[in-house]
Structure formats: structure tokens, C-alpha cells
Structure 1
Amino acid sequence: MVTATADFVVPDELLAHEPPEARGVPRDAVRMLVSTPSAQRHQLFRDLPTVLRPGDLLVVNTSATLPAAVPTLDGHVIHFSTCRADGTWLVEPRLAGRAGAPTVGPLDTAVAGQRFALRGGGSVTLLSPYSQGRLWVAALSFDDVPGYLSRHGSPIRYSYVPRSWPLSAYQTVFATEPGSAEMPSAGRPFTDRIVTRLVSAGVQVAPIVLHTGVASAEGHERPYPEWFSVPASTARAVASAQRVIAVGTTVVRALETTGGAAGSGWTDLVVTPERGVRVVDGLLTGFHEPHASHLDLLAAVAGPGLVSTSYAAALAAGYRWHEFGDVNLLLSEHDVREV
């Protein structure tokens, strides 16, 4: 399924090239488009406690971002994506840019059996292709991947982020369990102050964990399993909530995998409009690229029409895209309170 939003174009000036703090904008002051069937409201993220209502449940991802990009000794870069149940990893060999620049694209000349020597004495050996020209199943020469990455890695970044930023720029206030190749970025605008205001307003906050792999820049690329955990306490909160609002597509994937019950393991669930959603009533998310598989998940939660309308409004109003950008709150109800 391709949503109606698939063919839009994002101008370069709408790509978030740096954290909002570097532009003098606090984390919780990024823009927030509140999208309902009746209207699109242009607000700031710090308005969230007045937009939601008592009895709502926000479910957040507590996975912390790994410094998952490691240079090879022959001048390439390996992006560590996802640990698999059998102990192998999905990795993405990338072409390095000039010194200090982000990578310029997948290494499409990689072949099975190719070994990449890494700094610090580690190595990665490609075993078999997982997705055409991009992800590979690989064996590693070391067991403690988070420890190795903490010593030798840096945060993954792409061409729209021209300079490097510290790992702290890629962590959310909820980050407690290292494991994500890339930041669960829908949670980035939250601050301790916003969480306190939400709880004071009667909005519950509950955690799940889903360790994200590398983002897909390829249309229709098959998804890959990601490890998740839904605690029993969160399952109880879901069962009693008036509305369940997922903070990020990762939360939707975890909750829809278990049907809102407690559970853990690897999920390969693909959420599409044809499948629909059974647990989630709303979604706080960033803005995604044309043809990204995330758009189908958004359409499953909010409907293709509302997603199309919200993206048209965001483009017209100059919202910023990607992990350092603005956010979109998709709600199906007509009775969202005015700020």
C-alpha cells in the first residue's frame, strides 16, 4: 500500500540541518501540527499538556541511541542496525564522505564474505544480503557491541546534517536502555518540565522499549525484526486509558504486536491501512520522507486522508523534517481542546 502522501517533495530548506537548540529554539519549543479531521492547528510542542485531556495515555520509547556508525580502516563506514535472535547483526556498509562529512550512500559494491577491519581491532564480515544493495547479515569479531560502539562509534547522520553533534543531541529524556541505531526521535521534544505538566494535567506516561534499526531511505524495502518489550505496568495502563497516544512509530509497532498486552521479543509486524490498528488511538511523530514505509503506519492510525491533509499543511507552513525537526500530532477525534 502506498499512501496518498507518497509523491510530495520536501524542499531542502525544510530539512532540519541541526538540533533546534543550535538555532536558539529549546527542545520543547519546536512546532507541533495538531491534525484532526476538522482542522490543522499550528502550535508549539510545549502546548501538548493543554491539547491532551485527563485520562489520555502517552506511551513512550525508553530505548537509548547507540553511537552506531564506525569507520573502517579502508575508508568506509559501517552502520550497526539491529541485533538478530541468532546473534548476527544487520549492518549497512556506507561510502564515507570527505573528512568530517556524513556518509554519501550505501556501498553497493559490497559482496558476501567481505571483511571490514574496524578501528580498535574489531571486524565485520558480510554473510548474506538482507535487502538489495543496502543491509547485510554480518558476523562480528566482538560480543559486547554497545561497549565497542561507546568506545569507537559516533551517532549515525545523513547528508542533511552537515556537521557532527554529540551523542547527547540524539537522546531523548526517556532514554535509559541503550540499543537503538537511530534515535526514537518523536520523543526528542519532551523535557522533564513537560512531563511534569502532563502528569499534573491528568495525562499518564508509560514506557515500552523498541530498539530501532537504521532508517530506510528505500521505498518498499522489506522491514526487519526489531527487539521490543511491553511491561505489564504499561499493559495495565493501556487497558484503562481513555485514549492511547503513541509517541513515535516504534511505539505503535510494539503495542500493536502484543495487542496492548505485556510481552517481549523480536517483532516483524508491518502496520498498514489494510491491517489497521487495534490499540493506538493517536500518534505523535515527526515528518517522514516521500515513499517511506512509515507513511503507511501513519495512515493506519489516522487514515490516508488525514495524513495527506496534515502533510500538505506542514509543507505550506514550513515545518521542518527529520530527527531534529518539528512534530505532528495525529488525532481522530473532533473534540480536541483549543489552546
Structure 2
Amino acid sequence: MLDTGFDFVVPSDLDAREPAEARGLARDQVRMLVGRRGDVAVGHHRFADLPQVLLPGDLLVVNNSATVPAALPGRLPDGTPVALHLSAVRPGPRGTHLVELRRPTAGAAEYYPPGTSPALPGLRVDLPAGATAVLTEPYTARLWYARLVLPGELVPYLLRHGKPIRYGYVDREWPLAAYQSIFGSEPGSSEMPSAARPFTADVLARLAARGILTAPITLHTGVASPEAHEQPYPEWYRVPETTSRLAAHVRSHGGRVIAVGTTAVRALESAATGTLEGWTDLVVTPERGVGAVDGLLTGWHEPRASHLLMLEAVAGRALLDLCYQEAIAGRYLWHEFGDVNLLLSQ
């Protein structure tokens, strides 16, 4: 676990327990707190204001990874029910997948605290339609490598038998469509790249009319398991050559490259090291800094979440502290169905 050094308390009534649409709002009507590093100042907006907040010539880099229903019901050899959360649709270099076992309940599957999980090497988990997952070795205290045996291709199997991963702060199940952004075209994320959720066709049209560009990357997200607050682990990404060239062109002409989501930051910063596609274990911290982005649109993160270090690298500690103070005082909503924070380094 990384020590972020951030100390704040998020009241539980600020959890976004349902999508904006269920609260009577259009997706682009969620709130957006804008923070500017230059003068350490913030402004309160609706997301629909984004085209007016940005400048002509800016580039938004978006993640086109689509969410898959990565939560599967399973049973242990003794008949004990478990929930298996698949952390990547692509097998890693070992030919295995990362998975997390959780305790099934009437609501969201619960986290096994350290030392209580039934996971051990060789454990077989029986899955729907005759599929199995056999744990091979631990990756972290909660994640394990597993060999999957399936009756067909993985993504169609998940679409048939899985459900979207849901945590306890979400009151009930929502359809997979609630966990997709307008950009999602490449199935592969275990959890929604949620910073892009508020985008609508209207917002995109007004961005284009103002001369603000968009370009895609792909990064397939793993499971967050928010109770654990672990540092990021390897995820598969691809930055198209056209996106890389466009970002360089925009910056060379004084425009800003603004990542939509921490996933886009990780992909762009990884590509800047010279590899446009592959598995990245990059952890962006204030000490490392950022060299490929000038801003970040993101959701609100928990006090110990490792993503806060990336946010600090973009925004600086003073602005980030101010944003979180303002968000809590202003009763912004947290998590994937909540409000958003636009951090601009210049």
C-alpha cells in the first residue's frame, strides 16, 4: 500500500449510490469542480460547461475501453459459494488471469479481509456453464493468478454469465449500459473508466464546434477493490500512433493535452517512455511527475487511494487539498456514478 499522506473524511452520504439518470439528471448535468494550478483557484460548474472551460486547440485524450461484466458466481469444491471478480480479459505473460475472490451477499460481494480468504494454491472454483478457475499463486494479498478453462471465448462468456462489478456503496444492480461511456468500443475493462461517463453527444458536438479535439487510447482497467488501497498493478494499454502524434502537435502549438481519467494518464505517460502498446506497471507520483499531460478530468478518490499521488503530480498538493476541501464542503458525490474534478496544470 502506498502512503498518500492525504487525510480527510468523506461522509457516507456523499456516496453516489445510483447513476445520474436515476437521480433525474442527464449524464452531463453532474457537477464539475475545476481547479487551476497556476493561481490555486477553483470554480464550480456542471459538466455540460466543459466546452466553455477549455480552450480552442486543447486535446482531450479519452479511454475507449468498454466495461465487461467481470463478476461471476462460483463455488468451491466443498460447495461454498464465492464471487470471482476477473481483473483482466487479457491473460498476462504467464498465460494466467488475475482474479479476486469475494464473499457473496444479497447485495454487493464483500471484501475478504486479509487472512480470511479461502484462496490458496490449487484451489478450483467452479463457474457457470462448466467453466473453472484454478488459482496458481498469489499476486497480492487479495489478487491471485488463475488458469481459466472456458467453453468458449472469454468476452462472450462474460456477457452471457457475468454481471458488472458492484461495491457496497451502490444500492442495487444496474445494467451493463450504466457502466459504459460514450467512447467505449473495445471491450476489456473490469470496472468502468468512469471519468468519461458524463460525456454526451451534445457535449462532444459543442467541444468540436469550439475547436477542442479528442483522441483515443485504450487501457483495460483491473479491479479496484476500494477497501484495499493498493498501488496500481500492471494493466494492458495501447496508444495509437495517430494519438501520439496529435498530442505532440497540440503541445508544440501551445495547446494542452488533458487526460480523461487516470487510465489515460497512465497510458500516455507509459507511451512517452517509448512503448505504445503492452503491459504497464507505471506508478505516477509527485516525485516522478508528468511529462505528457497538462490536465486531468477525474472522479473523486478515497483518502488512501494511490491515484491521489497521480493527481498531486498533475495539480500540486496545494490545489489538490483545496479541491477536496471544496468538494466535501460543497457536497460533491463520490465514486463511479458521482461528480467529477477537472485539474488544469496551466
Q: TM-score range by the shorter chain?
A: over 0.9
Aligned position for 2:61? 59
Q: Note if 1:215 corresponds to 2:224.
A: yes
C-alpha displacement at 1:262, in angstroms? 6.9
Aligned position for 2:19? 19
Aligned position for 1:336? none
CA distance in 1: counterparts of 2:210 and 2:58, whole angstroms: 10
C-alpha displacement at 1:119, in angstroms? 1.2
CA distance in 2: counterparts of 1:193 and 1:262, whole angstroms: 34
CA distance in 2: counterparts of 1:19 and 1:224, whole angstroms: 28
For residues 91-135 of structure 1, what are the alpha-carbon distances to aligned partners after superposition, in whole Å with 9 as ceiling and x for unaligned?
Answer: 00000012xx11121362321111110111111111111111x11
Aligned position for 1:153? 162
CA distance in 2: counterparts of 1:33 and 1:46, whole angstroms: 12
Equivalent position SS for 1:47 = helix
Match for residue 102 of structure 1 among 100, 103, 108: 108
Aligned position for 2:42? 40
Q: After the TM superposition, which of the residue ranges 233-242 and 203-212 deviates more from structure 2?
A: 233-242
Aligned position for 1:337? none
Aligned position for 1:138? 146
Q: Note if 1:319 corresponds to 2:332.
A: yes
Q: Percent identity?
A: 56
C-alpha displacement at 1:2, in angstroms? 3.6
Aligned position for 2:260? 247
Q: Which amino acid aligns with 1:183?
A: M
Q: Note if 1:68 corresponds to 2:50.
A: no
Q: Which amino acid aligns with 1:24?
A: G
Q: Note if 1:256 corresponds to 2:259.
A: no
Aligned position for 1:29? 29
CA distance in 1: counterparts of 2:187 and 2:104, whole angstroms: 25
C-alpha displacement at 1:218, in angstroms? 5.0
For residues 217-275 of structure 1, what are the alpha-carbon distances to aligned partners after superposition, in whole Å with 9 as ceiling and x for unaligned?
Answer: 25562432111110011011101111000000000000000118671111110100010
Is the CA contact (8 Å cut-off) linking 1:210 and 1:254 kept in structure 2? Answer: yes
Q: Which amino acid aligns with 1:189?
A: P
Q: Which amino acid aligns with 2:276?
A: G
Q: Note if 1:93 corresponds to 2:101.
A: yes
Q: Note if 1:329 corresponds to 2:335.
A: no
C-alpha displacement at 1:3, in angstroms? 3.7
Match for residue 300 of structure 2 among 267, 275, 287: 287
Q: Which amino acid aligns with 2:187?
A: P
Q: After the TM superposition, which of the residue ranges 60-69 and 37-46 deviates more from structure 2?
A: 37-46
TM-score (norm 1): 0.94
Q: Note if 1:126 corresponds to 2:132.
A: no
CA distance in 1: counterparts of 2:19 and 2:342, whole angstroms: 20
Q: Which amino acid aligns with 1:180?
A: S
Q: Which amino acid aligns with 1:225?
A: P
Q: 5+ unaligned residues in a row in structure 1: which ranges? A: 334-339
CA distance in 2: counterparts of 1:139 and 1:161, whole angstroms: 30
Equivalent position SS for 1:86 = coil
C-alpha displacement at 1:303, in angstroms? 1.1
CA distance in 2: counterparts of 1:302 and 1:3, whole angstroms: 14
Query: For residues 219 and 161 of structure 1, do their structure 2 counterparts lie closer, same or farther at Cα, with a shift above 3 Å needed?
Result: closer
CA distance in 2: counterparts of 1:8 and 1:214, whole angstroms: 24
Q: Which amino acid aligns with 1:128?
A: E
Match for residue 199 of structure 1 among 173, 191, 208: 208
Aligned position for 2:85? 79
CA distance in 2: counterparts of 1:35 and 1:12, whole angstroms: 24
Match for residue 173 of structure 1 among 160, 171, 182: 182
Match for residue 193 of structure 2 among 172, 184, 190: 184
For residues 58-107 of structure 1, what are the alpha-carbon distances to aligned partners after superposition, in whole Å with 9 as ceiling and x for unaligned?
Answer: 00000000000000133210000023133210000000012xx1112136
Moved over 6 A (4+): none
